[in-house]
Structure formats: C-alpha cells, structure tokens
C-alpha cells in the first residue's frame, strides 16, 4: 500500500527538481531586472529542441551536449535582450512592468508558433540506450535519466550559487537586486548587469529544457505550462534564495504527485495553480518585489 | 459638420450596412465571417475596457468568455429562454471577475495579470477534464437552426458593447478609470478610489465577455466545452486591441477586422504564420507605436495637415549690425 | 576641484534646481544645508549622474560630469553615501565593503582600503561577517560611509548622514567625517542638521527651494542673522 505512494512521491521529487531549476532562471531575471519574462517557458522549450536535434542529427548524448545547448541559449538570450528588452530598461516602474509583460507575451507567441512551423506539433523525446534503465532503492524505482537530471540540476544551481556568492560580478548582480541606484554608485554598470542576468536566465532555461527532453518530452506548446510552473514555484519558494526556490520546486512536484495519487489526475494538474492563486490572494508579500508598493 | 458628427453618421451607415448584410448576401460563409468579426470586436472591446482604458492587463479574459458559454449553454439547453440565459452568463462572469479582482486589485504591479492567467488556466483544465464530451445541440434545435438570427444577436451585442464602452469612457467614471491608468497614486490623492474604478471596469469588461460567450454558446452547433476557455481567446483579444489601438473605441474594431482579414488571407498559405505575424506586430506596437493602427492614422493625418497648410510668412525684424 | 555652474534640473516637467553654482576645493569640507525638499539630494544626484541637468556645467578636475555615465563617476574619484546609507542588507558587512571597491582601480588595493576603513570604523571589523541587515542604525551609516571610502575617493559626497540617528551617534559620525577629511578626503556634506554641519565645515552653501541663497565660511554663516533665525532658533 505504501509502496505506490512512495514511488509516486519519488517521481514527484524528480520532476520537482526541474520545476525548481526552471523557477530559478525566471526568478533570477525577475529579481535583477524586475521583468517577468513570460516567454521563459518558450526558452526552455527551445533548449529542449536544441538537445533533441543535436541528438537526432548527430547522435551525441544530450548530457554531453549540454554545454552547446547552454551556449545556444546564451546567444538567443543575448539577441532577444538587445532587441527587445534593453530599450525598456529606462521606463518608469509601472510602464516597464506592463510593457515587459506584453512584449514577453508577444515573444512567447512568436516562439511557440515558430517552433510549430519548424518542427510540427508532434511530441518529441530523447531516447538513449540507457533511457529505460532504473535503479531500485528500498523497493522504489528511480529512472537513471531522471536521477541524472536531478544531479545536473543541483550541480547547475550550485555553480550559480558559487558565481553569485564568490565572484565580484555575482555580487554586483545581488547588489543590483536590492538597490540598483546604490549599485550604480559603486560603479556597477546596470545595463550590463541586466543583460547578464537575462542571458543567464535563458541559459538556465536551456539546461532545464535539455533535461526535460531527456527525462520527459517536449512539444512546441509546452512553454506556457512551464512558465506557470516557474511562477508557482517562485511564489512558493520566495524570491532571493536559490535553495528556497529549488525546495519550492520539490514541494510542488511532490504536492502534484500526492494530489494525483490521493485525488485524481485532474486535481493534480490544477493543484499548483490553485495554490498559486491562493498564495497571491492571501500572502503575496515577501514573495515578489517587496520593494514596490 | 463637426468631426464627431461625421464619425457618428459613418457609424450609422456602417451599422445599416451590417444590418442589411444578410438580406443582400445570401452566402452563409460570408455571414459567418461577418459574425466572427463581430464576435472578435465584442471580445476585444470588452478586454479593452479594462486593459486599454484602466491599464490592468487581464491575461485570463477567456475565463469570462468561457464562463458565459458554460452558463448560457446549460440554461438554454435545459429549457430557459435565450435572453435570460445570456444575462445569467454575463452575470456569472461578473461574479467570477469580482472573485479574483477584489483580492488581486489590492496588490500592485503584475499580480492581477498572473492571477487572471492562473485562474483562466484552472478553469480551462478543470472544464476540459470534467466535461470532455462535445456539447451538441439536440436534434430538433439542429433542424430549426438558423444562422441569420445569430448574426443579428452578435450585431446587437457588438453595438451594445461598443456603445457602452463609448459612454463609459466619456463619463465621469471613465475619467476616473483613465486617471488610474496614468498615475494611480495621484488619482487616489484626488479622491478617485482606485479599487472601485478598477472593479467597475473589470465588471463591465467581464459582463460583456460573458454575454459574448453566451452568444457563442447560442451560435455554435457543437463544440468542446473546454474550447472557449482556451488562452487563445484572451491573447487574440489582447492583440486585436493593441494592434488596433488600445484605449480607443475604434481600436478594437479595426484590430478585429484586421486580424480576421489577415488570418483568412494567411491561413490559405501557411497555417501558423498568422500568429507569428501578429506576434511581431504586437511587439512593434508595444515598443514603438503605442497607439496602434489608430495612432498611426492620427499621426499620418497630422503630418498631412501640416503639409497642406500654407507656409507661414515669417516677419522678423531686420538686424541692425 | 569640483565646480558646479548654473545647473538647472527637472524631474519630468517639474523644475527642481535653478541656476545652482557651487565650488569645492581640494581638502575642504564643504556643507550644503537647507530645509527638507530644498534640492540638496537633487544636487547630489546631478553630480553623481543619476539625474541629468537640463542646463549648466559640472567640472571635476577637468572632466565634464554632466557628460559622464552614472556608473563611471566612481572611476573619476567621486563616491557618494546616499540618503539612508542604502547598504545591501542581504549581504554581509564585508561584501558591502568589497562592493565599494568594485571599480578595477579600487579592487587592486582592496585589502589596503579595507584596513583603512577598519581603522576608522573598528565596529565594522568586528561585525564583518554579519548580515548588514542586522546592524543598528548608526552602524549602517558607518558601513555606508566605509563602503564609499573603499573606492579611495578624492571627493566624498554625504547625503544627510545624521538622518534618523540619536544625537550621540550624530556626534560620533561627524567626528569620523572630520577625521576622514583630515586624512585628505575632500568632503561635500549635505545636511538638514544645519548647526552641526556649519560647525564642521570650512565653507557652506545654503539652499532653499532649489536656489542657493547664501554662502560663506561655516563660522560666518553660523553668526549670520537670517541663518540663525531660520534654522538655528
């Protein structure tokens, strides 16, 4: 009786790691620039497709090509930022928030339909020779691929954390999150910091997308779903802490699994969203920018 | 004749044309197309009341549209008369809107946008899972199905929506709503209750979205109940309002017409291209042309007017060196 | 070293400064005093590039400050302690100080600068690994000043360092400012606490409603009748 539940929760934990990774990218950008990039999910989707096509066309294992996927997304992030978001940096707070939301939404539409045109609506997934392997621990089955994804997600976040805490640039980023004017007084070029954070956010989305394409599946319309997951986790885990956000992702994953197990699949799909709405309604402070209003 | 009078007469002519369309044109496909345009005008206009005029971006407009379809369809199919069913649909949409609006509006920034997005998704998924079967008209309704009355329903609805938007905008309430969009704090200090005005705009917006949904339920022979809750309805409305000109009355109208025409044209060629085109246009409008097509037209007019004015003769005093 | 000539500045359509002219010479401690909302902070923002003036000039050792991007001002040798300190509360005291030395030239001599700052503010060394958010009001102000010093500025701008502090702390902070000035850092001090600022300063300017209405040595202004009645009564 207990076993199926534990199995279920294990799966929830594994997918939760990816939710957390997706959310960290989103919250990094939001924390620094105050842009909520609603096209984050589409960037993730592109990361997935990048890994998929490299694997399909060149036969190289996605875990090995992770670096190239990252580079690919770094470039996309750079181009998109310079093209669209850079010009909105100077706007007043409320206009900036609104316009970046709208532009992000337009972007997600374009990216989504671009993907549909290029790669059709078919669901894709990367299947390697070890895709079916599992290792069993205490009667619970852990698919190798998903465990590897969890590990990679952790390593990525650890690297990010090191960057933010140990390097000068990383500290500059954190300073900008708190107070961009004071940061400017230190000689920090805010434009560069914004660009860096956006590009990093895209790269993180790329990593998450790659992991999703191996362990799960990708399709052109998955973007909004993942953006919403990211938002939910941001709200659950609170802004400003990588650990908090990651744990929030795990919590969401496990909650979804448990809901699916005890109630039904329908509820499982909406539990995250319902939690999100409830938290927004009853406890929004300290979740998003406490600096504003 | 003043510009206002000219516009008013033009509008009357337009309405007359639309009213006589089914009499003159007998092709169902044309009437269908016109009906679709009216549907979009209504939906975009209703979105615009909140999004364009009060600046609150509603990413869950489809929830109100869908709620209208659900309520109206259920009531109508269970024996209610059409108009009470429509009204009920509109009112339920308003109730839904207030449910999310009252808490969400207390907060600033983007909370309303993402909250409405989440709400619409919840409904979309839930309806899709609890009502997976197609909702079809019963046999006898099918037999007596007529397109033309439905066309007139949409026409009337669109006139009602646009007319209400016009009167609201030009009223004192409308001033308050727009003041909030510009500068919420300043408006509050002048005694404009931001919350009340936002809720009003939201309610009116939701009401008409709900009515449009009800009309949709009356119009469609068979559809999946989940369909009207799909995010596409929200996003299409948003794009139409912006590309046409958010914050204007004609904006959504132009946007909807433009949207449907371009879509019909592009769908013949390449399937998803129209959405990419609209996405690009949308971004261009947000970044560079905040007035949309209406704004562009206005700028053009001014530029032309300047050109046609006779050059002013400058009278400058001669300089004594 | 710093020369401000006929600066007009606007917040949107609202004019905040009218024809501001000031001068700060090397080694001086100059005060800019005036009531709340007079334009003191605005003047500082114009100097540090956070607000671009509509007209006028600012020279700093030959550089036209009004043409320099805000984040490059520090490289030129001007460092500001903003109103309220604006320390990074989520980061440690040490990290705050390190960020003060962000610019390349300061980063090289970071450790020396750190020693210097610890000498002036031993309390900061005690608390160097603590989260800045846990510091008391006075300590935060010290951190803010220390952070500004980390870039080894030639000119230090202070925006109301006494704000919100108990009188004893104000005395301490002002003593430290005097010491910093004595060690060779030119200081432009903006203050609402007119008496204390005038007692400290070599020279001072009085600003009211966006205009300079008086200037002179600290002592002269202290005894000047209108200043006394307006601010010191």
Q: In this predicted model, what pLDDT tens digit does every residue of C14-38 receive, in sequence order? A: 888 888 889 898 889 999 988 888 8
Is B310 in a helix, a strand, or coil?
coil
| C58 shares its domain with C9 | yes
Q: Indicate whether B320 belongs to any domain.
A: no
The per-residue pLDDT for A285 is 57
Task: Please report, for chain A, the start and end positions of each structural domain, with discontinuous segments joined by +.
Answer: 24-222
Render the burial of A251-263: b for 16+ CB within 10 Å, e for the rest: bbbbbbbbbbbee
Of A168, A171, A187, Cβ closest to residue C74: A187
- Rounded to whole angstroms, the Cα distance separating B216 from B223 reads 10
Q: A185 and C48: CB-CB below 8 Å?
A: yes
Question: How many angstroms separate the CA of residue B235 from the nearest CA in chain A?
Answer: 9
Task: Flag if B114 and A36 touch (Cβ within 8 Å).
Answer: yes
The answer to whether residue B321 is domain-embedded is no
Say if residue C165 is in the same domain as residue C191.
yes
User: C23 has which bridge partners?
Assistant: C3
Give yes or no for A174 touching C (CB within 8 A). Answer: yes
Tell me which chain B residues have a C-beta less than 8 angstroms from the C-beta of A236.
none
Strands C203-208 and C29-33: parallel
Question: What pLDDT sits at residue A156?
Answer: 95
Instruction: Count the helix, strand and coil residues of chain C and give each as a percent rounded to the nearest 5.
Output: 45, 25, 30
CB-CB neighbors (< 8 A) of B58 in chain A: none
Whether A81 and chain B come into contact, CB under 8 Å, resolves to no
| Same domain (yes/no): C219, C110 | no
User: Which pLDDT value is given to residue C38?
Assistant: 84
Same domain, C73 and C93: no
Among the three residues C94, C120, C152, which one is the final residue of a domain in this structure? C152
Q: What is the pLDDT of residues C183-213, one digit of tens each?
A: 889 999 998 888 888 888 889 998 888 888 8
> In this predicted model, what pLDDT tens digit does every residue of A129-174 receive, in sequence order?
888 888 888 888 888 889 999 999 999 999 999 999 999 999 999 9
Residue of A nearest to B116 (CA): A277
Cross-chain Cβ contact A186/C95 below 8 Å: no
- Give yes or no: residues C161 and C231 share one domain: yes
How far CA B174 is from CA of B74, B159, C138, in Å, comes to 34, 19, 50
Range A265-287 average pLDDT: 79
How far is the CA of B78 from the CAs of A147, A230, B227, in angstroms? 53, 42, 21
Closest-CA distance, A21 to chain B, in angstroms, reads: 20
User: Hey, are the CB atoms on A277 and B119 less than 8 Å from each other?
Assistant: yes
What is the C-alpha to C-alpha distance for residues A173 and A171, in angstroms, rounded to an integer?
5
103-132 in chain A: CB under 8 A from chain B: 103, 105-107, 109-110, 112-114, 116-117
Q: Distance from C44 to chain A by nearest Cα, in Å? A: 11
Instruction: Out of B115, B130, B235, name the one closest to residue A109 (CB).
Output: B235
- Asked if C67 and C137 sit in the same domain, the reply is no
Question: Which residues from chain A sit within 8 angstroms of residue B283, using beta carbons?
Answer: 84, 103, 106-107, 110
pLDDT tens-digit map of C72-115: 888 899 999 998 889 999 899 999 999 999 998 888 899 999 99
Among residues C125, C152, C179, which one ends one of the domains?
Answer: C152
Query: What's the CA gap between B111 and B113, in Å, rounded?
Result: 5
Q: What is the pLDDT, as a whole number, of residue B311? A: 59
Q: How far apart are CA C95 and CA C88, in angstroms?
A: 9
Note whether A270 contacts B: Cβ–Cβ < 8 A: yes
Q: Is A91 in the C-facing interface, judged by CB distances under 8 Å?
A: no
- Tell me if A113 and B238 make a contact (CB, 8 A cut-off): no
User: B299 vs A63, B293, B296, CA distance in Å?
Assistant: 54, 10, 5
Dist. CA A287–CA A44, nearest whole Å: 23
> A37, A120, A277: which to substitute to probe chain B, counting the most B Cβ within 10 Å?
A277
**H or E segment at B275?**
helix B273-288
> What are the mean pLDDT values of chain B's consecutive 10-residue runs (321 residues total)?
75 85 81 90 93 83 95 90 91 90 72 86 92 84 83 91 87 74 66 76 93 93 92 92 88 91 78 82 88 82 73 53 40
- Residues from chain C that touch A171, judged by Cβ atoms under 8 A, are 91, 95, 98-99
H or E segment at C223? helix C218-223
What's the CATH code of the domain at C73? 3.40.50.300
d(C-alpha B243, C-alpha B280), whole Å: 10
- Which chain A residue has its CA at the smallest distance from C133's CA? A178
pLDDT tens digits for range B221-257: 889 999 999 999 999 999 999 999 888 888 899 999 9
- One DSSP character per residue, A30-96 reads HHHH----TTHHHHHHHHHHHHHHHHHHH---TTTTHHHHHHHHHHHHHHHIIIIIGGGTTS-HHHH
Q: Which of A97, A103, A284 sits opposite B283 (nearest CB)?
A: A103
Q: Is A175 on the interface with C (CB under 8 A)?
A: yes
Taking the alpha carbons at both ends of chain A, their separation in whole angstroms is: 50
CA atoms within 13 A of residue A239's CA, in its CB half-sphere: 22
Q: Is residue B168 part of a domain?
A: yes
Taking phi first (over 0 means left), then psi (-120 to 50 degrees means alpha), and beta for anything else, what does residue C19 get? left
Q: Is B272 within 8 Å of A98 when comparing Cβ atoms? A: no
Q: Chain B: nearest CA to A46, how far in angstroms?
A: 16
CATH number of the domain that B64 lies in?
Answer: 1.10.3470
Per the CB < 8 A criterion, the answer to whether B242 and B48 are in contact is no
Quote the CA–CA distance of A210 and A100 in Å, as a whole number: 26
Does B contact C via 3+ CB–CB distances below 8 Å?
A: no
Question: Mind telling me how many Å the CA of B208 is from chain A's nearest CA?
Answer: 23
Q: What is the pLDDT of residue B1?
A: 60
Is C14 in the same domain as C70?
yes
Q: Are A88 and A99 in contact (CB under 8 A)?
A: yes
A35 touches chain B (CB under 8 A): no
Q: How far apart are CA A163 and CA A153, in angstroms?
A: 15
Q: Which domain holds residue C119?
A: 84-152
Chain B neighbors (3+ CB pairs < 8 Å): A
Q: Which domain holds residue B196?
A: 3-306
pLDDT value for B189: 67
The subunits that touch chain A, with at least 3 C-beta pairs less than 8 Å apart, are B, C
In the predicted model, is pLDDT for residue C128 greater than 50?
A: yes
Structural domain total, chain C: 2
**pLDDT at position A273:** 92
Q: Domain check: are C146 and C160 in the same one?
A: no
CB contact under 8 A, A84 and B287: yes
Q: C178 and C108, same structural domain?
A: no
The verdict on A71 touching C (C-beta cutoff 8 Å) is no
Q: Which of B185, B163, B186, B187 is nearest to B175 (CA)?
A: B187
Number of domains observed in the structure of chain B: 1
Q: What does the mean pLDDT of chain C come to?
A: 87
A281 close contact with B: CB closer than 8 A: yes
Which pLDDT score, from 0 to 100, does residue B67 have? 95
Instruction: State the pLDDT confidence band at A197, using cuts at 50, 70 and 90.
Output: very high
Which residue from B minimizes the CA distance to A93?
B109
Nearest Cα of chain B lies from the Cα of A148 at a distance, in angstroms, of 31
**In chain B, what are the helix, strand and coil shares in percent, each to the nearest 5?**
75, 0, 20
Shared-domain flag, residues C62 and C4? yes
d(CA C4, CA C70): 17
Q: Which residues of A touch C148 (CB under 8 A)?
A: 185
Q: How many CB pairs under 8 A join A and C?
A: 64
pLDDT digits (tens, 9 = 90+) for B15-27: 888 888 877 778 8
- For residues C126 and C194, membership in a common domain is answered with no
Contact call for C91 and A175, based on CB within 8 A: yes
Tell me which residue in A168, A181, A190 faces C102 most closely, judged by beta carbons. A168
């Amino acid at each position: 009786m207990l076993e199926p539940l534990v199995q279920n929760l294990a799966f929830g934990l594994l997918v939760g790691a990816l939710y957390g990774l997706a959310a960290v990218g989103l919250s990094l950008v939001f924390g620094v620039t105050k842009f909520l990039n609603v096209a984050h999910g589409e960037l993730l989707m592109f990361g997935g497709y990048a890994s998929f096509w490299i694997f399909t066309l060149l036969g190289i294992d996605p875990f090995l090509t992770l670096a190239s996927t990252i580079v690919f997304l770094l470039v996309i992030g750079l181009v998109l930022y310079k093209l669209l978001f850079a010009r909105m940096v100077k706007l007043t707070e409320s206009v900036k928030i609104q316009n970046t939301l709208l532009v992000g939404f337009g972007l997600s539409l374009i990216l989504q339909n671009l993907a549909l045109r290029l790669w059709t609506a078919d669901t894709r997934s990367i299947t390697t020779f070890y895709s079916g392997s599992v290792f069993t621990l205490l009667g619970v089955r852990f698919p190798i691929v998903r465990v590897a994804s969890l590990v990679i997600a952790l390593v990525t976040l650890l690297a990010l954390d090191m960057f933010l805490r140990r390097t000068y640039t990383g500290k500059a980023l954190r300073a900008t999150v708190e107070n961009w004017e004071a940061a400017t007084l230190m000689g920090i070029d805010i434009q560069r910091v914004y660009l860096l954070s956006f590009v990093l956010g895209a790269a993180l989305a790329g990593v998450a997308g790659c992991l999703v394409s191996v362990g799960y599946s990708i399709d052109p319309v998955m973007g909004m779903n993942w953006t919403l997951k990211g938002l939910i986790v941001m709200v659950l885990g609170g802004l400003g802490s990588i650990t908090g956000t990651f744990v929030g992702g795990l919590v969401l994953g496990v909650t979804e699994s448990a809901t699916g197990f005890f109630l039904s699949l329908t509820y499982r799909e909406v539990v995250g969203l319902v939690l999100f709405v409830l938290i927004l309604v009853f406890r929004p402070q300290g979740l998003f920018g406490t600096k504003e209003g | 004749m003043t510009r206002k009078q000219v516009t008013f007469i033009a509008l009357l002519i337009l309405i007359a044309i639309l009213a006589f369309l089914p009499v003159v044109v007998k092709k169902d496909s044309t009437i269908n197309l016109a009906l679709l345009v009216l549907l979009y005008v209504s939906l975009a206009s209703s979105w615009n009341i909140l999004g364009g005029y009060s600046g609150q971006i509603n990413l869950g407009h489809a929830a109100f549209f869908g709620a209208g379809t659900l309520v109206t369809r259920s009531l109508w199919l269970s024996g209610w008369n059409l108009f009470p069913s429509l009204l009920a649909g509109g009112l339920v949409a308003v109730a839904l809107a207030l449910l999310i609006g009252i808490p969400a509006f207390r907060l600033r920034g983007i909370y309303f946008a993402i909250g409405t997005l989440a709400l619409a998704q919840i409904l979309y998924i839930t309806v899709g899972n609890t009502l997976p079967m197609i909702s079809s008209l019963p046999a006898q309704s099918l037999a007596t199905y007529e397109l033309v009355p439905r066309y007139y329903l949409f026409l009337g609805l669109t006139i009602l929506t646009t007319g209400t938007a016009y009167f609201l905008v030009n009223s004192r309430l409308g001033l308050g709503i727009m003041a909030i969009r510009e500068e919420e704090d300043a408006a509050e200090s002048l005694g404009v209750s931001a919350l009340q005005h936002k809720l009003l705009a939201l309610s009116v917006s939701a009401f008409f979205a709900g009515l449009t949904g009800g009309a949709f339920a009356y119009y469609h022979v068979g559809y999946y109940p989940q369909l009207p809750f799909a995010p596409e309805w929200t996003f299409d409305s948003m794009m139409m309002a912006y590309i046409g000109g958010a914050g204007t009355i004609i904006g959504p109208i132009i946007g909807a017409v433009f949207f449907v025409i371009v879509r019909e044209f592009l769908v013949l060629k390449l399937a998803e291209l129209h959405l990419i085109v609209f996405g690009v246009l949308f971004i261009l409008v947000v970044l560079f042309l905040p007035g949309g097509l209406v704004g562009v037209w206005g700028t053009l007019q001014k530029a032309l007017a300047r050109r046609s004015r006779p050059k002013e003769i400058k009278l400058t005093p001669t300089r004594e060196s | 070293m710093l020369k401000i000539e006929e600066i007009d500045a606007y917040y949107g359509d609202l004019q905040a400064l009218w024809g501001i002219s000031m001068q700060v010479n090397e080694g001086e401690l100059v005060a800019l005093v005036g009531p709340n909302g007079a334009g003191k902070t605005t003047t500082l923002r114009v100097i540090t590039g956070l607000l671009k003036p509509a007209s006028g000039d600012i020279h700093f050792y030959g550089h036209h400050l009004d043409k320099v991007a805000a984040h490059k001002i520090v490289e030129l040798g001007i460092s500001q302690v903003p109103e309220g300190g604006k320390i990074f509360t989520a980061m440690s005291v040490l990290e705050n100080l390190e960020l003060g030395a962000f610019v390349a030239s300061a980063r090289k001599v970071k450790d020396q600068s750190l020693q210097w700052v610890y000498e002036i503010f031993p309390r900061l060394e005690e608390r160097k690994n603590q989260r800045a958010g846990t510091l008391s009001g006075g300590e935060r102000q010290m951190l803010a000043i220390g952070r500004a010093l980390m870039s080894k500025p030639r000119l230090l701008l202070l925006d109301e360092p006494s704000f919100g502090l108990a009188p004893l702390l104000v005395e301490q902070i002002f003593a430290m400012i005097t010491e910093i000035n004595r060690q060779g850092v030119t200081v432009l001090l903006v203050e609402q606490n007119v008496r204390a600022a005038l007692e400290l300063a070599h020279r001072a300017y009085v600003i009211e409603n966006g205009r300079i209405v008086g200037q002179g040595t600290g002592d002269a202004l202290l005894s000047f009748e209108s200043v006394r009645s307006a601010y010191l009564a």
